[in-house]
């Protein structure tokens, strides 16, 4: 049986690892040319009942605890005028309910747990035709089971559904303060050890402490048209001008928040957020399935990677339970996955709606008090 997993993100790698633990081989075709080819981005909060459950099934929970940052659970929520609404500081002995982990550390943990040659780097899937994978470099491969773990713009998804991601009215500009404790100790102290959120009318300024001492800063704009990066006038080709533009955009916010933007270096990344329809399903096929963002892309409010990890682990367990009956394994996996991830997508959509609202900070305050 040849299991081809397209995509070596958290979901695809969790699947490969759980299969390996259960004595089943798989091949992961990954577009990146190496594990260092691309920065993996910031932090992920990994939840006890989903992402951590997956890592336990993968036999990696101890390794995870070694790289998890419990203090990253700290959270500060503020209003644009500087009013502090919520401050949660994590006691040293607090349970690791939602610790933060650097994306790169998590990916390395998963990659290091796989036999050599499981991941075939530099294999960008172009299309699938008559049961054959065609890669961008002209090479091909066959499979008995194909798993699309290739994220938002999945090339496998069209085999199962016509659904496409739609723009969610959100754009983010990601900036960075390297070595923040040394270079900007006052701002580092303001951000604290975890997540720092300032929620305004249609805009958010967020900052996040990373394990390597950098602070990532996100300027997020809501209710934006799809072409906002080209129509807003933001001069993305010039980092200094981008910072100046953002400072102007947030000019009526507390000066300390503007200082966060001004302190960033020239690293600028952009994100245009899209989502799949909540509750997306498809008719099962005996030889193809999807997991993670390829199956249920949702607003980035803390569920996506957790769901992807658990999808991968549970699909691996379903295949291990039915090694000679892939169609049954797929049906069992998809039934549970559709149900679980539609609940998470509905909740994520509700939080996204709150963040888009003019009174986002008050709504989120009420939400946190109820949680």
Rounded-to-integer distance, Cα 17 and Cα 26, Å: 9
Annotated binding site: 38, 45, 103, 293
Question: Binding of ligand FAD at residue 124 (CB under 6 A)?
Answer: yes
Pick between residue 31 and residue 243 the one whose CB is nearest to ligand FAD.
31
Q: Exposed/middle/buried for 371, CB within 10 Å: 0-12, 13-18, 19+?
A: exposed
- Residue 202 is given by DSSP the state S
Q: Which residues pair with 174 in a beta bridge?
A: 218, 269
Quote the least distance from Cβ 366 to ligand FAD, whole Å. Answer: 22
Q: Which of 16, 19, 26, 29 binds ligand FAD (CB under 6 A)?
A: 29
Angle 326-356/304-321 helices, nearest 10 degrees?
Answer: 170
Question: Binding of ligand FAD at residue 125 (CB under 6 A)?
Answer: yes
Rounded-to-integer distance, Cα 29 and Cα 304, Å: 21
Quote the least distance from Cβ 141 to ligand FAD, whole Å. Answer: 12
Q: Which of 74, 293, 332, 334 binds ligand FAD (CB under 6 A)?
A: 293
Q: Which of 119, 175, 180, 305 binds ligand FAD (CB under 6 A)?
A: 305
54-57-63-65 Cα dihedral, nearest 10 degrees: 60
Q: Which of 16, 17, 45, 264 binds ligand FAD (CB under 6 A)?
A: 45
**Pattern 145-174, ligand FAD, x by CB under 6 A:** ----xxx---x-------------------
Question: Binding of ligand FAD at residue 30 (CB under 6 A)?
Answer: yes
Q: Which of 306, 341, 348, 361 binds ligand FAD (CB under 6 A)?
A: 306
Rounded-to-integer distance, Cα 120 and Cα 131, Å: 19
Pick between residue 93 and residue 137 the one whose CB is nearest to ligand FAD.
137
Quote the least distance from Cβ 45 to ligand FAD, whole Å. Answer: 5
Rounded-to-integer distance, Cα 183 and Cα 76, Å: 22
Q: Where are the beta strands (DSSP E) in 130-229?
A: 132-135, 140-142, 145-148, 166-177, 195-199, 203-209, 215-222
Question: Binding of ligand FAD at residue 308 (CB under 6 A)?
Answer: yes
**Pattern 191-230, ligand FAD, x by CB under 6 A:** ----------------------------------------
Q: What are phi and psi of 246, to 5 degrees?
A: -65, -40
Under 8 Å between Cβ of 265 and 177: yes
Quote the least distance from Cβ 292 to ligand FAD, whole Å. Answer: 2
CA-to-CA separations, 160 to 3, 113, 147, 208, 289, in angstroms, rounded: 17, 30, 11, 37, 8
Quote the least distance from Cβ 44 to ligand FAD, whole Å. Answer: 4
CA nearest 74: which of 85, 93, 90, 97? Answer: 90
Stretch that binds ligand FAD, among 87-95, 143-151, 176-184, 319-327 (CB under 6 A): 143-151
- Residue 349 is given by DSSP the state H
Stretch that binds ligand FAD, among 15-23, 243-251, 287-295, 318-326 (CB under 6 A): 287-295
- Contact residues toward ligand FAD (CB under 6 A) are 6-12, 29-32, 44-45, 123-125, 149-151, 155, 271, 292-294, 300, 302-306, 308
């Amino acid at each position: 049986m040849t299991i081809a997993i397209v995509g070596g993100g958290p979901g695809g790698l969790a699947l490969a690892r759980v299969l390996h633990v259960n004595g089943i081989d798989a091949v992961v075709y990954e577009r990146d040319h190496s594990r260092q080819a691309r920065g993996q981005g910031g932090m992920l909060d990994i939840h006890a009942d989903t992402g951590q459950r997956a890592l336990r099934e993968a036999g990696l929970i101890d390794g995870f605890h070694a790289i998890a940052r419990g203090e990253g659970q700290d959270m500060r929520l503020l209003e644009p005028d500087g009013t502090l609404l919520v401050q949660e500081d994590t006691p040293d002995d607090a349970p690791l309910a939602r610790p933060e982990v650097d994306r790169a550390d998590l990916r390395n943990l998963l990659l290091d747990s796989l036999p050599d040659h499981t991941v075939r780097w530099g294999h960008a899937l172009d299309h699938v035709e008559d049961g054959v994978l065609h890669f961008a470099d002209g090479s091909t491969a066959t499979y008995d089971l194909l798993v699309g773990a290739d994220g938002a713009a999945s090339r496998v998804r069209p085999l199962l559904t016509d659904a496409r991601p739609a723009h969610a009215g959100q754009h983010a500009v990601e900036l960075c303060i390297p070595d923040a404790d040394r270079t900007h100790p006052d701002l580092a102290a303001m951000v604290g050890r975890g997540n720092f959120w300032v929620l305004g009318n249609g805009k958010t300024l967020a900052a996040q402490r990373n394990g390597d001492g950098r602070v990532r800063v996100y300027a997020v704009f809501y209710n934006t048209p799809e072409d906002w990066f080209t129509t807003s006038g933001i001069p993305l080709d010039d980092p200094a001008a981008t910072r100046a533009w953002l400072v102007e955009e947030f000019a009526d916010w507390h000066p300390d928040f503007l200082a966060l933007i001004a302190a960033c270096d020239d690293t600028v990344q952009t994100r245009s957020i899209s989502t799949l329809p909540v509750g997306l399903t498809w008719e099962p096929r005996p030889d193809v399935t999807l997991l993670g963002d390829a199956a249920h892309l949702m607003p980035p409010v803390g569920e996506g990677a957790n769901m992807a990890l658990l999808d991968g682990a549970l699909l691996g367990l379903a295949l291990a339970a039915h090694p000679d009956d892939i169609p049954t394994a797929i049906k069992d996996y998809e039934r549970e996955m559709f149900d679980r991830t539609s609940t998470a997508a509905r909740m994520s959509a509700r939080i996204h709606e709150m963040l888009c609202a003019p009174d986002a900070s008050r709504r989120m305050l009420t939400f946190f008090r109820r949680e």
